């Protein structure tokens, strides 16, 4: 995701330059006062104060950008935390369901073997019971597969919703709405 372009005010010095110039003007004012050049010292002190005002004005704009950047960072951190939690829960549930699916498939294979043996021996009672077991196990297998798919889809939905919340707001014109 590309960062939105920062607003730049042309003709305005960067805060670091203003700070350096203000400190230099203050140092010069002190040196001039010590050397007895009061008038030039007052001019240097006035320059220091003007630079300090410009620095405060510029830093207010920068702090707004920093606040926005901090809010964006919190949103991204919340997205990462939500994503990790959702996928961890989905992963743990998927592992449990895969283990259940393997167990059901082994039981189904055993029931099919029993069915095959019963049909080979012409044992209708056992064959009917084995058919019922296979049908029941097939239903349980279908439920487990659906639950696994739903766990993954739910995590994907939750992460998608949280991802939308972290994206920048888009501006659309009235013509685009119709």
Q: Tell me whether residue 1 is in a domain.
A: no
Q: Tell me whether residue 151 is in a domain.
A: yes
Print the domain residue range for 142: 15-166
How many residues belong to the chain?
178
Selected residue with higher pLDDT from 135 and 172: 135
In angstroms, the CA 17 to CA 142 distance is 69
Residue 83: count other Cβ atoms within 10 Å of its Cβ.
Answer: 16
pLDDT of amino acid 35: 85
Q: Tell me whether residue 178 is in a domain.
A: no
pLDDT tens figures, 41-92: 889 989 888 888 887 777 666 555 555 555 666 777 777 788 888 888 888 9
Q: Tell me whether residue 6 is in a domain.
A: no
Q: Tell me whether residue 161 is in a domain.
A: yes
pLDDT of amino acid 178: 57
pLDDT of amino acid 163: 75
Kindly list the distances between the CA atom of residue 91 and the CA atoms of 71, 95, 131, in Å, as whole numbers in the listed order.
Answer: 30, 6, 33
Q: Tell me whether residue 115 is in a domain.
A: yes
Q: Tell me whether residue 25 is in a domain.
A: yes
In angstroms, the CA 67 to CA 62 distance is 8
Reported pTM: 0.52
Q: What is the number of structural domains in the chain?
A: 1
Q: Which DSSP state fits 173?
A: -
Selected residue with higher pLDDT from 68 and 157: 157
Q: Tokens 């004012």 appear where? A: 29
Q: In this structure, what are the phi and psi dihedrals at residue 169, rounded to the nearest 5 degrees? A: -70, 135
Q: Tell me whether residue 2 is in a domain.
A: no
- Percent with pLDDT over 90 in the chain: 36
In angstroms, the CA 58 to CA 9 distance is 10
Radius of gyration of the chain, Cα coordinates, nearest whole angstrom:
36
């Amino acid at each position: 995701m590309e960062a939105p372009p920062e607003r730049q005010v042309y003709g305005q010095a960067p805060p670091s330059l203003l700070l350096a110039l203000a400190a230099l003007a203050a140092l010069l004012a002190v040196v001039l006062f010590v050397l007895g050049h009061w008038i030039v010292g007052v001019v240097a002190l006035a320059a220091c104060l003007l630079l300090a005002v410009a620095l405060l004005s510029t830093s207010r704009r920068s702090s707004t950008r920093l606040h926005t950047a901090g809010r964006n960072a919190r949103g991204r951190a919340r997205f990462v935390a939500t994503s990790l939690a959702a996928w961890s829960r989905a992963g743990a549930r998927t592992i449990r369901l895969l283990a259940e699916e393997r167990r059901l498939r082994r039981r189904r294979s055993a029931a099919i073997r029993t069915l095959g043996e019963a049909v080979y021996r012409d044992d209708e009672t056992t064959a009917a019971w084995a058919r019922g077991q296979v049908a029941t196990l097939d239903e349980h297998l279908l439920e487990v597969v659906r639950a696994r798919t739903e766990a993954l889809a739910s995590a994907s939905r939750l992460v998608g919703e949280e991802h939308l919340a972290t994206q920048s707001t888009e501006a659309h014109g009235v013509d685009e709405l119709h």
